[in-house]
Structure 1
Amino acid sequence: MYVGENESAKYWLSIMNELKNRGVEDILIACVDGLSGFPQAIEAVYPQTEIQQCVIHQIRSSTKYVSYKEIKALMADLKLVYAAPTEETALAELDHFKETWDSKYPKIYKSWHEKWAVLATYFKYPLTVRRLIYTTNTVEGFNWQLRKVTKSRIILPSDDNRLKMLYLAMMDITKKVDWSQIRA
């Protein structure tokens, strides 16, 4: 568990180096949230790691300025892209998305097209694990539960006390996870 004052690529580079120094030889895949420089920090220490940008973050970013009246139709077309059974099908659906929406929302297609290499990594893996790979929602949900614990305790005697409290909360949270739902 790592606790830092702020999140930055430099911070994550230090974490990657620490993991390397502690004996982690390689990372197969890393799902990132779009933090600028984060993929480069990972690749600097683990150059063979496959990077998967969180599709949910990409969707939120893409639909930020979409009209309320059009959001359902646009999301239905976008879902055909990220939920496609193969990368080839996804690319065909992305082209169809462009034909349908590019005149109104050109930045959406452009963003997906430019980031495709890091958005489509999960297509290399079986359907059973793709959802675990293409989103950081599980980690974000876990972090949200930790924030709930610390939010009500603004003043703690020391950072050690905060870490101990987070550790105990983490142990409690992981007891509640239905591990049978997470298959590899």
Structure 2
Amino acid sequence: MFHQHTLPDYRQHSDVLESMIIKLYSKGVTTREIADLIEKMYGSHYSPAQISNISKQMIPKVEAYHQRKLSDKFFCVYLDATYIPLRRITFDREAVYIAIGIKPNGHKEVIDYRIAPSENVENWAEMLQDMKSRGLEQVELFLSDGVVGMKTVLQQTYPKAHFQRCLVHVMRNICAKVRINDREMIMNEFKQIHQQPNKEAAINVLHAFYDKWNRAYNHVIRNLKEIEPDLLVFYSYPKQIRASIYSTNMIESFNNVIRRKAKPKAEFPTEQSLNTFIGIQAMSYNERYFNRIHKGFGHVQDTLESYFD
């Protein structure tokens, strides 16, 4: 008697195939490409619409992710936005607000994300308030770029938290406002600011930078002096973790993965499809790093715990 072992009785597709489809979808493969691959590999025919419906099985999991209870404290939280093509009525690139945190024990996770037509401080305020309502009571340090009003919003939501402006963003902004011939020298000198043994030495380097370039770029230096209180906050923490907390590079690497995987899709047809796609990336990231300690944090766990009540 013939009995097929590939699929259970009365099943049109296997869990293995569904898992494969969801995995391919999360890698940025389009529904049409997935349908072609499945047919070539397994001989099973799926239309792009069927592939899309299978990927929609992740929607309840993504909704649960957005509503889950959060840890009560994170040592540092990185805030950044990236832009992904989305079609509502017309096609445009929309902002995906992302928050990634590292706990005092060194474990990191994508705390949450949200989608909006553009980046503004009001949307950040709503997202931060939602994070707090879901249990995140204490944050020692926030890291972000120069979004206008961000520091004020952080102080309103988490008044005890400190704020570090991303030095990489600051350096990019400086280079965009100086002559091309001066950029390499300015960049190399500005990098010295985060490579000092302590805050006092960093202040000396920063002030020497002011003195050298003030005459040529007075406006740039004046703007830099205005944000000086937010440039060297990371020196207040153990040297083992300083390399991780003077910039938002860690969250930008996650953003780069999202953009790379989203690129083959050209655009997302609905906000729900984009939300599902980002949710899969976030949950995959959290699963991958669930028990891994971020570089340097394992050596100073007790010290980091002491910053909290």
TM-score category by the smaller chain? Answer: 0.7 to 0.9
- For 1:63, the aligned partner's letter is C
Give distance in 2, aligned partners of 1:85 and 1:106.
28
| Aligned residue number for residue 114 of structure 2 | 3
Alignment of 1:72-87 (within 5 A): 72-87=184-199
Give distance in 2, aligned partners of 1:63 and 1:162.
33
- For 1:2, the aligned partner's letter is Y
Residue 91 of structure 1 and its aligned partner are, at CA, apart by 1.5
Tell me the SS of whatever aligns to 2:143.
strand
Deviation readout 1:110-138 (Å, 9 max, x if unpaired): 22221111111101012221121111122
Give distance in 2, aligned partners of 1:19 and 1:56.
26
Residue 62 of structure 1 and its aligned partner are, at CA, apart by 1.1
Tell me the SS of whatever aligns to 1:3.
strand
Alignment partner of 1:183 out of 296, 302, 306: 296
> Where do 5+ consecutive residues of structure 1 fail to align?
none
1:23 aligns with 2:99: no
Contact 2:167 2:246 in 1 (8 A): yes
- Greater RCO, 1 or 2 (C-alpha within 8 Å, sep 6+): 2
Residue 51 of structure 1 and its aligned partner are, at CA, apart by 0.5
Deviates more, 1:12-21 or 1:165-174: 165-174
1:47 aligns with 2:165: no
Residue 80 of structure 1 and its aligned partner are, at CA, apart by 2.4
Deviates more, 1:3-12 or 1:45-54: 3-12
Residue 4 of structure 1 and its aligned partner are, at CA, apart by 1.5
**TM-score of the superposed pair, with normalisation by structure 2:** 0.54
Q: What is the RMSD of the two structures over their aligned residues, measured on CA atoms? A: 2.3
Residue 105 of structure 1 and its aligned partner are, at CA, apart by 1.6
Residue 172 of structure 1 and its aligned partner are, at CA, apart by 4.7
Contact 2:177 2:220 in 1 (8 A): no
| Aligned residue number for residue 132 of structure 1 | 244
Contact 1:81 1:93 in 2 (8 A): yes
- For 2:115, the aligned partner's letter is G
Alignment partner of 2:280 out of 155, 168, 181: 168
Alignment partner of 2:210 out of 86, 98, 102: 98
Equivalent pairs: percent with the same residue?
Answer: 23
Cα–Cα, structure 1 residues 180 and 155, in superposed 2: closer, same or farther, change >3 Å? closer
Tell me the SS of whatever aligns to 2:148.
coil
Contact 2:114 2:127 in 1 (8 A): no
Tell me the SS of whatever aligns to 1:30.
strand
Give distance in 1, aligned partners of 2:296 and 2:210.
34
**TM-score of the superposed pair, with normalisation by structure 1:** 0.86
Deviates more, 1:79-88 or 1:133-142: 79-88
- For 1:141, the aligned partner's letter is S
Cα–Cα, structure 1 residues 66 and 51, in superposed 2: closer, same or farther, change >3 Å? same
Structure with greater helix share of residues: 1
Contact 1:149 1:169 in 2 (8 A): no
> Where do 5+ consecutive residues of structure 2 fail to align?
1-111, 298-309
Deviation readout 1:54-80 (Å, 9 max, x if unpaired): 001111111213223222322232222
Residue 98 of structure 1 and its aligned partner are, at CA, apart by 2.3
Give distance in 1, aligned partners of 2:213 and 2:273.
52
Residue 173 of structure 1 and its aligned partner are, at CA, apart by 5.3
Residue 35 of structure 1 and its aligned partner are, at CA, apart by 0.6
Deviates more, 1:49-58 or 1:75-84: 75-84
Give distance in 1, aligned partners of 2:164 and 2:268.
37
Give distance in 1, aligned partners of 2:183 and 2:260.
31
